[in-house]
Chain A
Amino acid sequence: MILIHCPYCDEKRPEIEFANAGQAHIARPLDPSGQSDADWETYLFIRANPRGRHHERWRHIHGCGRFFNAVRDTVTDKFETTYKAGEPRR
């Protein structure tokens, strides 16, 4: 069972306290109605599926409840880093 560092609690906790919330750094467009079908499709459906470094969102759902971002290696399943929502991509 992986240990995940919650950047809000600043503690490593077992993965069962967390929930994955999909790819990170996909901001909801500020003006959805102004989006072309293609842009909206990209926002809604198009996701990366990298072999290696992957930016993901996680929620410390059975802890502080905060969403945060993480870089996880999809091959080794190791977390490289985690950081607070709103901080720049690492």
Chain B
Amino acid sequence: MSGFRLETGGRIDRSQPVRFDFDGKTYQGFAGDSLASALLANGVMLFGRSFKYHRPRGLVAAGSEEPNALISVNRGPGRFTPNLRATGVEIHDGLIATSQNRWPSLAMDFGAINDRLGMFFPAGFYNKTFMWPRSFWDRVYEPAIRKMAGLGDAPTTEDPDVYASTYAHCDLLIIGAGPAGIDAALGFMDTNKRIVLIDEQDELGGGALADPALWPWLERSVKALTDAPNVTILTRTTAFGYYHDNFIGAVQRLTDHLPDVTDAPREKLWRIRAGEVVLAQGAIERPLVFDGNDTPGVMLSSAAKVYANRYGVAVGKALALMASHDSGWHDVFALAKAGVGISVIIDVRESVDSALILEASRLGITVYLNHGVVGVNGRHNVSSIDICDYGDQRVSRIDCDALLMAGGWTPSVHLWSHSKGSLKWRDDLGAYVPDVPNENVHCVGGCSGDWDFGTGAIIDMLPTPKDQSRIKAFVDFQNDVTAKDIMLAVREGFRSIEHIKRYTTNGMATDQGKTSNLNGLQIASSALNKPVTDIGLTSFRPPYTPQTFGALAGHAKGALFQPTRTTNIDDWAQAHGAVFELVAQWRRARYFPHSGEDMHAAVNRECVAVRSSVGIFDASTLGKIEVVGPDAAEFLNRMYTNPWKALEPGRCRYGLLLKEDGFITDDGVSARLAPDRFHLTTTTGGAARVLNMMEDYLQTEWPDLDVWLTSTTEQYAVIALQGPNARKVLEPLLEGIDLSAEAFPHMAIREGRICGIETRLFRVSFTGELGFEINVPTAYGRAVWEQLMAQGAQYGITPYGTEAMHVLRAEKGFIIVGQDTDGTVTPFDAGLDWAVGKKKPDFVGKRSMARSDIVALGRKQLVGLLTDDPNLVLEEGAQIVADPKQPIPMTMIGHVTSSYWSETLGRSIAMALVAGGHDMTGNTLHIPMPGKTHTAKVSGVVFYDPEGARLHV
């Protein structure tokens, strides 16, 4: 028991008691308390266990820089948040908080054995020790380390909370509402600028909240700003990242501080674009580095002042101050004024301002100059300290129950650094301060190095007569990095602070070294005997403090994670039991199982129906581009491998699209509707890419061509009607189109009406059967589909999904770009040289088809594979070898690209890319798969109706 509530003082509301739980015990605080201040008021000094050594840890700070007091808050199922700083958690009735990194309890921790073994945990210990043997890593080292290490527990269930997000624009964004930020806002309040003022705390004021003399000014200022129509004030809002062009990310915490969990948004992500930014983030006090400086009860002197003046809490009954900076003296004087017992000031300096000495003596405080703390006694709380007289090296003991540290100040340049502003070193401050901005931004107040805290000596660590190897003087409290670790890193040859940081992990914890970076830099500088400016500076990166994934994700989760595109026929498929799959962003029916059917049975039935009678398929997702203009044919002639100029209106052509490197990138059947109008189709996944590529050539290579490209993918619903009875189903519903084989041959297009609706009717087939693709305006898709279903009932019309579509096309050897090709396949490799216009002088990719490695022998070529065991279906992606007896690793000559059971053929079929495959017909190849190596014979890719007799009927 050490801290306690003062009789008076603070900004807490003593008329509003608040009850909350910490580690299963109920405590009482007041409205306005942080979890840290409320626990301190109850005498709690032990807040957690450290990361590596499981040492007992208490509060170091009072703000978001707190490195030690990481706690978890449980707000019910799925609402568990680990690693919150107790200093930033506002208490409310019913708050349930727990400490972390302890087992079985905070006071008695098993892992603290690490601390006794601390000699054996030097910097780089993990890198050095756990490297060998490799096999031990997965089974022994990693599980053990995971159990012992880590910060808090990850939540185990889905987060039920809602997170909001918004964009905001302003002329002036002020980050930090301490005196400097508030002054800036007041200064611009009477302009017509739109101002946003944000602060991470629950009320405006920053450092002024700990200075009662400023409260009247603060109250007036906050009222003026609140009343100003052009000022938006965001409290409980952390500006976590500063991005290009004055774009700032900030998270506003909306409901965590409220007693009741509601369905209101928990947090809100603000994306703010500001004309000008003022950073007023203040400065962070620096701890001093000495043996035992992590003992609970050792904390920053400015923090003790905050606890006393803002929260009405004394951190102890008998305080001592260890200072190297005047600011600690001023803090202590303020504490004395607030009624906190302070008996001793120790200062490492040989002399200080005589006014400080006078004031100390007036307050009855004993002063030790040219002294330093060299030891802290007490494990769970400070009981006494050992101080050394640097004159005669004599060590004496002083009783105290709290030790304050005043090691100077570090300007908070985090966001400035995010914005890529440069820094300059100031010897007088022993700190980096903002120098040249990279954005329209200014720093004011403490974060610019402008403060009235007095002066101080900048030291790396307090001198000690003790053996350096026997002491633990912490630099980074959260990552348990000691001064010794940094010196060891230097001895082992690390020279740059970037490397020292990574080797020791100094500054790499969740606080990003807010309290440790500068001390680490100073210690490295001394050890290297080089000026600080010669060993570099580590970079600050967003986020300034840890933020929830929920806030960053916002609404983009679950069904809203990405848009799902559905066709007009999707509802019908859903109602008829379709099993869906996602193709690009489209939701497509994969198969339509009847009751009791698995996918295999359903696909077999669907395939047989198409081959024997008629099937119906929703092909609306096909990419569609309308190409219009006098030069449309010339344009397509240059884009595609095939000749287009001679294509007559009313006819279709299979188009093969290469990239300039000669490799297949897309394909599709396209139709010429008129001399100056084409209806292109692309693959489902390639639509946007193809349009972009065509626009690129049209805009930048051939701007002289008079052509317009329009995406029409979503303008048409497309219904594929496939099978020998397709014509019979279609005929009664059509107007103005002669369906006879003579009038409407394969690969033709006709325009007319179906069920009274305008249609572009293609006679095309991706199944090898007589087939039509009916394009109608999207809104009529389902209606026409249902009419076709009714009309086709007498023929047993069968809806089929993408799985059957794949089998049917594979039986015919039709490729799927991206499945049977992989971006390195030429038309020749794919057996599609018939689609290349040999006489065309140029098209995209033509020149590359003559490149030496593309005409070279041994390229992977698309072949069919027929397994010797007809019932065996190869795995897609399986590798292929020529000789299974060769030593491992074997030479893999290709892989299976498509593989299915063909019910029509009563056996399995596969396609594969195989080196030199076109010359291997009839050869036996070997396909190692789990358990067994299978054999298959190379064949052509067309397994069914190679003459195409079924198409031309």
| Contact among B244, B245, B700 with A67 in the assembled complex (CB-CB below 8 Å) | B700
A67–B700 CA distance with the chains assembled, in angstroms: 7
CB distance from A55 to the nearest CB of B (A): 13
- Please judge, given known A-B contacts A1-B243, A2-B244, whether A32 and B846 are in contact too, CB under 8 Å: yes
A85 close to B699 (CB less than 8 A): yes
Does chain A have a CB within 8 A of B842? yes
Q: Which residues of B contact A76 (CB under 8 A)?
A: 420, 438
In the complex, which residues 42-90 of chain A have their Cβ closer than 8 Å to any Cβ of chain B? 44, 57, 59, 61, 65-67, 76-78, 85-86
Q: Which residues of A contact B703 (CB under 8 A)?
A: 85-86
Q: Which residues of A contact B852 (CB under 8 A)?
A: 37
What are the 8 tightest A-B residue pairs by CB atom distance, in nearest-first order?
A32-B847, A2-B244, A3-B245, A1-B247, A28-B701, A67-B699, A85-B700, A67-B700
Q: Which residues of B contact A65 (CB under 8 A)?
A: 695
A77 close to B847 (CB less than 8 A): no
A35 close to B438 (CB less than 8 A): no
Does chain A have a CB within 8 A of B499? no
B695 close to A1 (CB less than 8 A): no
Q: Which residues of B contact A15 (CB under 8 A)?
A: 244
- Please judge, given known A-B contacts A59-B692, A67-B696, A67-B699, whether A35 and B847 are in contact too, CB under 8 Å: yes
- Please judge, given known A-B contacts A44-B660, A59-B692, whether A37 and B700 are in contact too, CB under 8 Å: no
A59–B692 CA distance with the chains assembled, in angstroms: 9
A21–B697 CA distance with the chains assembled, in angstroms: 12
Q: Which residues of A contact B846 (CB under 8 A)?
A: 32-33
CB distance from B350 to the nearest CB of A (A): 47
Does chain A have a CB within 8 A of B841? yes
Overall SS of chain B's interface: mixed
Does chain A have a CB within 8 A of B851? yes
Q: Which residues of A contact B243 (CB under 8 A)?
A: 1
A44–B849 CA distance with the chains assembled, in angstroms: 13
A57–B696 CA distance with the chains assembled, in angstroms: 10
Q: Which residues of A contact B697 (CB under 8 A)?
A: 28
A61–B848 CA distance with the chains assembled, in angstroms: 28
- For B, the interface residue count at a CB cutoff of 8 angstroms equals 25
Please name the residue on chain A nearest to B841 by beta carbon. Answer: A33
Does chain A have a CB within 8 A of B661? yes
CB distance from B856 to the nearest CB of A (A): 13
Q: Which residues of B contact A32 (CB under 8 A)?
A: 842, 846-847
CB distance from B84 to the nearest CB of A (A): 28
18 A–B contacts from the bound complex (CB under 8 Å): A1-B243, A1-B244, A1-B271, A3-B245, A28-B697, A28-B701, A33-B846, A37-B851, A44-B661, A59-B692, A61-B692, A66-B699, A76-B420, A77-B244, A78-B244, A85-B699, A85-B703, A86-B700
Q: Which residues of A does B touch, CB under 8 Å?
A: 1-3, 15, 19, 21, 27-28, 31-33, 35, 37, 40-41, 44, 57, 59, 61, 65-67, 76-78, 85-86
A61–B529 CA distance with the chains assembled, in angstroms: 55
CB distance from B854 to the nearest CB of A (A): 11
Which residue, B660, B699, B701, B847, has most C-beta atoms of chain A within 10 A?
B847
Please name the residue on chain A nearest to B167 by beta carbon. Answer: A14
A86–B851 CA distance with the chains assembled, in angstroms: 29
CB distance from A3 to the nearest CB of B (A): 4
A61–B438 CA distance with the chains assembled, in angstroms: 28
Please name the residue on chain B nearest to A35 by beta carbon. Answer: B847
CB distance from B285 to the nearest CB of A (A): 33
CB distance from B489 to the nearest CB of A (A): 29
Q: Which residues of B contact A2 (CB under 8 A)?
A: 244-245
A67–B703 CA distance with the chains assembled, in angstroms: 11
A59-B696, A85-B699 given; name 11 further pairs at CB < 8 Å.
A1-B244, A3-B245, A19-B692, A44-B661, A44-B848, A57-B700, A59-B692, A61-B692, A67-B696, A67-B700, A76-B420
A52–B692 CA distance with the chains assembled, in angstroms: 28
Q: Which residues of B contact A21 (CB under 8 A)?
A: 696
A53–B245 CA distance with the chains assembled, in angstroms: 18
CB distance from A20 to the nearest CB of B (A): 12
A61–B660 CA distance with the chains assembled, in angstroms: 21
CB distance from B420 to the nearest CB of A (A): 7
CB distance from B484 to the nearest CB of A (A): 38
CB distance from A51 to the nearest CB of B (A): 16
CB distance from B225 to the nearest CB of A (A): 28
The digit string for B689-723, where 1 denotes a CB below 8 A from any CB of A, is 00010011101110100000000000000000000
Q: Which residues of B contact A19 (CB under 8 A)?
A: 692
A15–B273 CA distance with the chains assembled, in angstroms: 13
Q: Which residues of B contact A27 (CB under 8 A)?
A: 701
A40–B438 CA distance with the chains assembled, in angstroms: 41
Which residue, A15, A66, A67, has most C-beta atoms of chain B within 10 A?
A67
A40 close to B699 (CB less than 8 A): no
In the complex, which residues 407-426 of chain B have their Cβ closer than 8 Å to any Cβ of chain A? 420
A41–B662 CA distance with the chains assembled, in angstroms: 12
CB distance from A19 to the nearest CB of B (A): 8
CB distance from A40 to the nearest CB of B (A): 6
In the complex, which residues 828-854 of chain B have their Cβ closer than 8 Å to any Cβ of chain A? 841-842, 846-848, 850-852
A54–B752 CA distance with the chains assembled, in angstroms: 53
CB distance from A81 to the nearest CB of B (A): 15
A71–B243 CA distance with the chains assembled, in angstroms: 20
Q: Which residues of B contact A59 (CB under 8 A)?
A: 692, 695-696
Please name the residue on chain A nearest to B842 by beta carbon. Answer: A32
CB distance from B83 to the nearest CB of A (A): 28
In the complex, which residues 230-279 of chain B have their Cβ closer than 8 Å to any Cβ of chain A? 243-245, 247, 271
A6–B806 CA distance with the chains assembled, in angstroms: 43
CB distance from B735 to the nearest CB of A (A): 37
CB distance from B850 to the nearest CB of A (A): 8
Q: Which residues of A contact B420 (CB under 8 A)?
A: 76
- Please judge, given known A-B contacts A44-B660, A76-B438, A85-B700, whether A33 and B842 are in contact too, CB under 8 Å: yes
A33–B701 CA distance with the chains assembled, in angstroms: 16
CB distance from B554 to the nearest CB of A (A): 15
| Contact among B696, B700, B701, B847 with A40 in the assembled complex (CB-CB below 8 Å) | B847
A21–B915 CA distance with the chains assembled, in angstroms: 33
A31–B245 CA distance with the chains assembled, in angstroms: 43
A37–B853 CA distance with the chains assembled, in angstroms: 11
CB distance from A77 to the nearest CB of B (A): 6
A40–B842 CA distance with the chains assembled, in angstroms: 14
Please name the residue on chain A nearest to B851 by beta carbon. Answer: A37
Please name the residue on chain A nearest to B688 by beta carbon. Answer: A61
CB distance from B849 to the nearest CB of A (A): 10
Q: Which residues of B contact A33 (CB under 8 A)?
A: 841-842, 846-847, 850
CB distance from A8 to the nearest CB of B (A): 10
- Please judge, given known A-B contacts A59-B692, A85-B700, whether A1 and B661 are in contact too, CB under 8 Å: no
Which residue, B245, B700, B703, B842, has most C-beta atoms of chain A within 10 A?
B700
Q: Which residues of B contact A86 (CB under 8 A)?
A: 700, 703
- Please judge, given known A-B contacts A33-B841, A59-B692, A67-B699, whether A1 and B245 are in contact too, CB under 8 Å: yes
In the complex, which residues 304-334 of chain B have their Cβ closer than 8 Å to any Cβ of chain A? none
Q: Which residues of B contact A37 (CB under 8 A)?
A: 851-852
Q: Which residues of A contact B847 (CB under 8 A)?
A: 32-33, 35, 40
A86–B331 CA distance with the chains assembled, in angstroms: 67
CB distance from A39 to the nearest CB of B (A): 10
CB distance from A71 to the nearest CB of B (A): 16
CB distance from A84 to the nearest CB of B (A): 10
Q: Which residues of A contact B841 (CB under 8 A)?
A: 33
Please name the residue on chain A nearest to B709 by beta carbon. Answer: A65
In the complex, which residues 670-697 of chain B have their Cβ closer than 8 Å to any Cβ of chain A? 692, 695-697
CB distance from B273 to the nearest CB of A (A): 8
CB distance from A14 to the nearest CB of B (A): 8
Please name the residue on chain B nearest to A1 by beta carbon. Answer: B247
CB distance from A28 to the nearest CB of B (A): 5
Q: Which residues of B contact A57 (CB under 8 A)?
A: 700
CB distance from A63 to the nearest CB of B (A): 13
A27–B846 CA distance with the chains assembled, in angstroms: 16
In the complex, which residues 616-661 of chain B have their Cβ closer than 8 Å to any Cβ of chain A? 660-661
The digit string for B719-739, where 1 denotes a CB below 8 A from any CB of A, is 000000000000000000000
Which residue, B245, B692, B696, B699, has most C-beta atoms of chain A within 10 A?
B245
